[in-house]
Structure 1
Amino acid sequence: MNGFLKKRNGFAVAAFTASLLSLFHGSAYADECPSEDFSQFLPAFSANAETQQRLTAMTVKSLVLKPTGENGNFEPQTTGVKSSTLTFPLMAPVATGKTEGVEVEAVDDSHFNVVDKRAGNSNIKIFNFSHQACWVLEGVEDWSISKKDLVESSNPRMSEAESFCFQRAEAFRGLGGLEQYRLTGELFEASLENYLCAAASGDPQASLNAASLSLSGMAPQLQTEKVEQLFKAAATTLPEGAMSLSLFYCDGNNISSDGPCQHPAQAEEALMEAARMGSAFATNALGRAYETGKFVTKDMSRALACYQLAAKNGSKGSVAHLERLNKQPAGIKASFCY
């Protein structure tokens, strides 16, 4: 009787093992597992399409970035996908030892993530493995943005390729700004790379966004000459670009600078240009610069003229400055702002 039970139990174990192994393709029995050591398993798994298909779960958790329908925002969406619908190989070969652009993360003894950055920060993929009868690929995260989810260019200053880059840059910056994904740094890097792509022909908004992101500390810092080039392109039509150029002339490639303005004459001219473009904020700032002598010119009559013009254009800060100056005993007559 005991022998009979042992045989039945043995059959049950064998059946359970076969069921477990059926989670991935083919006849992947234990003796076909490349290695129990994940560092040895990964090169064997990635070597060819057949092995990848055989050692992939029948249903894979697939994460892709999809538009939310709001201002070009994207968010990750995860669904279950039958591996029979996937195109193999999913992963390019990974060498034994360290492979440039590939990071292997141990979640715990039974779970590893492989972060593949070889195609650049705009095309990162993360492969999720778990240990069953062998290591099995159970999830694929695709952190790229598909061209089919972008809209055709409506900006005459951008080519179609630059427009797609701009849309990707905005989306990646939005995802990075949430600071809730493990790829936050890479998302900001992808955003900067795509802004630079979008600014290739000198688009002012893409140029401003690229330079500003570079100075934010969230992405790699560009060379000083490149930042100046971008701000100059932004200053051609954007008041914010001219104001940013003014700040750049003072602080250089260091937003935390608290020293004197490095190039006051150029900073003053850039701020005047921003005011000429009709920015009330810039006009108020120019008035403050005239009042304090922050740059080159110190002239209370011009400061008053700028405050009056800025207030007329809706600057509340200028109203407070006007009230303050009007309380001074010595009368000041407004001359001209710029």
Structure 2
Amino acid sequence: MNGFLKKRNGFAVAAFTASLLSLFHGSAYADECPSEDFSQFLPAFSANTETQQRLTAMTVKSLVLKPTGESGNFEPQTTGANSSTLAFPLMAPVTTGKAEGVEVEAVDDSHFNVVDKRAGNSNIKIFNFSRQACWVLEGVEDWSISDKNLVVASTPTMNTSENFCYQRAQAFAGLGGLEQYRLTGELFVAALENYVCAAASGDPQASLSAAGLSLSGMAPQLETEKVEALFKAAATTLADGAASLSTFYCYGNNPVPEGPCQHPEQAEKELIRAASMGSVSAMNYLGYSFEEGRLVTKDMSRALACYRLAADKGDDTAAGNLKRLNAQDAASTKTSYCY
């Protein structure tokens, strides 16, 4: 009986002590809360390391980008991280008022997100806050790609740093292409910036990707001179680069090709180069150009030659064009050369 009473009293004392500590901690916590107004709380929270540590949850929802296999793709992975393992300060100081590069989003009265773009589109972080006794940081989303998750390599046209940029560009473009993340627009901007970085030494594929993304409407447009330089670099070894340069000579830095070709001579020259470099679609379009006289040359015999060449390489559209012309008695036309 005495043992039972002692045990019962022990539970009571423990419960009473816990209650007192809870009340004391809650009172102190409330007193130490910088502000219930989030616009006032954020500058105080970000001001120093001690405040950030004190007002961060014990377990933080941590999102980071991780590679998925060997394809160069990345995906966001979320885990629970003990706050003691985090590298404080987590956030650079945010001054009162509207800070450039910082966006504050109200999810509801008890939840706010802070999108920090101050380190650039390749290093965006999102901080998730919830309101308890005070505002508390409960989640950190890191949308950057760490060097340790990239392959260290270089090529004749890309040094190691540029190669890192190329890998990041592909990863960000892949994430943006899924169109399922709130940062889709920023991911495409990051992809473009990294493609431009990767193309600094003239790499053809990086140059083509940068110019193509610029004209896709998914990212900001680069200036006309820059786009032309990128397409010229791409055209040195890539058939698709030469075909793209041909289109650029016709329609310039316009995402929607329309109107007459502005520079037909240059456009035809690059289209011929693209076909001669093995682009089957360029062969077919060159045939169409020769048939209709859309650029400079109008020559039915060369049109037939281009259609036949593309059809022999498996292009169904070219095969259809060849069949159409043959039905129009074009078979009697003496076949010439395509290019």
How far did 1:14 drift?
Answer: 5.2
Q: What per-residue deviation string (whole Å, max 9, x for no partner) do you get for residues 125-154 of structure 1?
A: 000111111111110000000010111225
Q: Which amino acid aligns with 2:108?
A: D
Q: What per-residue deviation string (whole Å, max 9, x for no partner) do you get for residues 265-291 of structure 1?
A: 111011000011012221111111100
**Partner of residue 6, structure 1:** none
Answer yes or no: is the 8 Å Cα contact 1:28–1:54 preserved in 2.
no
Moved >4 Å (runs of 4+): 9-19
Partners of 1:271 and 1:134 in 2: CA distance: 65
**Partner of residue 103, structure 2:** 103
How far did 1:335 drift?
Answer: 1.2
Answer yes or no: is the 8 Å Cα contact 1:127–1:139 preserved in 2.
yes
Partners of 1:245 and 1:111 in 2: CA distance: 49
Answer yes or no: is the 8 Å Cα contact 1:283–1:306 preserved in 2.
yes
Partners of 1:12 and 1:208 in 2: CA distance: 65
The reply on whether 1:337 has 2:338 as its aligned counterpart is yes
Q: Choose 27-36 or 210-219, whichever is displaced more.
A: 27-36
For structure 2, the 5+ residue unaligned runs are 1-14
Answer yes or no: is the 8 Å Cα contact 1:172–1:191 preserved in 2.
yes
Q: What per-residue deviation string (whole Å, max 9, x for no partner) do you get for residues 166-191 of structure 1?
A: 01001101111111111111000000
Answer yes or no: is the 8 Å Cα contact 2:236–2:242 preserved in 1.
yes
Answer yes or no: is the 8 Å Cα contact 1:306–1:337 preserved in 2.
yes
Over aligned residue pairs, what C-alpha RMSD do you find? Answer: 1.9
How far did 1:337 drift?
Answer: 1.2
The reply on whether 1:226 has 2:226 as its aligned counterpart is yes
**Partner of residue 167, structure 1:** 167
Partners of 2:18 and 2:314 in 1: CA distance: 81
Partners of 2:73 and 2:329 in 1: CA distance: 55
Q: Which amino acid aligns with 1:121?
A: N
Q: Choose 199-208 or 305-314, whichever is displaced more.
A: 305-314
Q: What per-residue deviation string (whole Å, max 9, x for no partner) do you get for residues 244-297 of structure 1?
A: 111111111113232111111111011000011012221111111100101000
Q: Which amino acid aligns with 1:258?
A: E
Q: What per-residue deviation string (whole Å, max 9, x for no partner) do you get for residues 229-254 of structure 1?
A: 11111111111111111111111111
Q: Which amino acid aligns with 1:307?
A: Y
Q: What per-residue deviation string (whole Å, max 9, x for no partner) do you get for residues 12-45 of structure 1?
A: 87555567x5xxxxx9621111111111111111
**Partner of residue 92, structure 1:** 92
Local SS of the residue matching 1:130: strand
Q: 1:210 to 1:28 in 2, by over 3 A?
A: farther
**Partner of residue 146, structure 1:** 146
Q: Which amino acid aligns with 1:333?
A: K
Local SS of the residue matching 2:201: coil
For structure 1, the 5+ residue unaligned runs are 1-8, 22-26
**Partner of residue 307, structure 1:** 307
Partners of 1:314 and 1:206 in 2: CA distance: 28
Answer yes or no: is the 8 Å Cα contact 2:217–2:255 preserved in 1.
no
Q: 1:316 to 1:18 in 2, by over 3 A?
A: farther
Q: 1:17 to 1:208 in 2, by over 3 A?
A: farther
Partners of 1:208 and 1:39 in 2: CA distance: 44
How far did 1:76 drift?
Answer: 0.4
Answer yes or no: is the 8 Å Cα contact 2:157–2:203 preserved in 1.
yes
For residues 199-278 of structure 1, the aligned pairs below 5 Å read 199-278=199-278
Local SS of the residue matching 1:294: coil
Q: 1:262 to 1:17 in 2, by over 3 A?
A: farther
Local SS of the residue matching 2:94: coil
Partners of 2:105 and 2:38 in 1: CA distance: 11
Answer yes or no: is the 8 Å Cα contact 2:195–2:209 preserved in 1.
yes
Local SS of the residue matching 2:208: helix
Q: 1:289 to 1:142 in 2, by over 3 A?
A: same
Answer yes or no: is the 8 Å Cα contact 1:28–1:55 preserved in 2.
no
Partners of 1:268 and 1:170 in 2: CA distance: 31
Partners of 1:328 and 1:89 in 2: CA distance: 76
**Partner of residue 4, structure 1:** none
How far did 1:155 drift?
Answer: 3.0
Q: 1:18 to 1:82 in 2, by over 3 A?
A: farther
Partners of 1:142 and 1:178 in 2: CA distance: 18
**Partner of residue 6, structure 2:** none
How far did 1:328 drift?
Answer: 2.4
